[in-house]
Chain A
Amino acid sequence: METNPEIVFPEKQNPLESEIYLASQWELIWRRFKRHKLAIAGLVILIIIYTMAIFCGFFSPYSPYLYNADYINAPPQTLQFFDQDGFHFRPFVYGYEVSRDPETFRMEYQIDHSKKYPVYFLVRGDRYKLLGIWETDLHLFGVKEGHIFLLGADPMGRDLLSRVLYGARISTSIGFIGVFLSFVLGIGFGGISGLYGGAIDNLIQRMIEFIKSIPSIPLWMGLAAALPQDWTVIQVYFAITIILSLKGWTGLAREVRSKFMSLREEDFILSARLIGASKTRIITQHMIPSFLSHIIAQVTLAIPGMILGETSLSFLGLGIRPPAISWGSLLQAAQNVRTVALTPWLLLPGVFVIITVLAFNFLGDGLRDAADPYGK
């Protein structure tokens, strides 16, 4: 009863399965990632935040620098759909009735139900450059008469929502660029360390230990304080990014090193060596793809630290300085107790920081769990 291994019996096959069989590493990661509801939520939130940051001119109703003495510290308005006549399909905001406190000379705002400003989509307003290239005056929403301050106004009467959206540009991108720098340094130093080992490895490891032992906040503060006052916004921005990534790369370098070291012992790497693959090929085709997904997950988890770093530095007045806007520099305006008591909405940029950081953490957790689709 010789059996022939080539006989093919009707195979009962799960249609889903053959799809999985053809799935590359990234498709498998995506399959696993999709099951993480929280991570998906984080991803969606981040897409929204980054879209708004990139097109901040379009999404904000006003120019963030538009000064308006009539609305100093105006409180947030709420979107209304109902008035005494009932429901309106088009939302509107009520205007303010402004009076000055005779004793403190503070402006006091009351809602004036007689002033109704309907909100329109795609209205013309302040001119701005979309993506810094095309000049336009189109805004997502706005009012044709009166004013709209959905998040209130600051002590100079500027629209806080617009300022938060413009601030997002710097605050969210600094995380990305900082992490990219860390990534390059981390892969570079970690790679050298892991691949060559020996004395070079020893040197790099001791250097990493030294850098890690420097307390972050004083290091950042010292370096940031040393930035010349007359630097342009762009210069300061990049300087801050570099300062933030100076420490960030060390953890990543260790990760990369240990990955290289453990991969060197893997059978499939030996197999590549034995078939005559060059070192370059082994590193680029076999080793890096094996841990890239882990590193991406790590990097995602490192971004919040960068964002918080920028916020802290700017809050202390050492980072992004006005007139440039970042969430940290916005929070700087809310540094005293009086602000907190009288104009609490100035703390709202902090809420954006929290949401972004949480979203990154959720996303990073999901990525980390999905990063190795071949493990058990």
Chain B
Amino acid sequence: MATMDVSIVSAEAEVWRGEAEMVVARSPEGEFGIMRGHIPFLAALIPGVVTVVNGAERRSWLVPGGFLEASGSMDDYHVIVLADDAEETGELDPAEAARRIEEMRQQQDSDDDSDRASAELIASMARAEREHGEYSSPG
């Protein structure tokens, strides 16, 4: 499948760089997936999980916030995630991940109800993803 160049960069260092077919992240307007050739896109990220999918392989990071930019031509397409912080979920168990996302969200001192609902949604999705090892396909 068509791959693109993806890098995940935190303020202190480049966290990861590689090829991937799809990147899934979350903006204030909802979850989105980016594949090669998407129109140039720039999004702010809210607390949640950024997932990079390449074939059967998938890697996820807990991200408290940041930005995602996708741009380039069909042959040279890249996605850059600028994360405020990025911790690879790896071994983290889903309940712990959900708790952390909730924590990050609270740190952003928003007591907006809709925000809370979306944080719960992210948390439950992270849980679901862990349990079923499958993304409820965004496209």
- Asked if A and B bind, the verdict is no
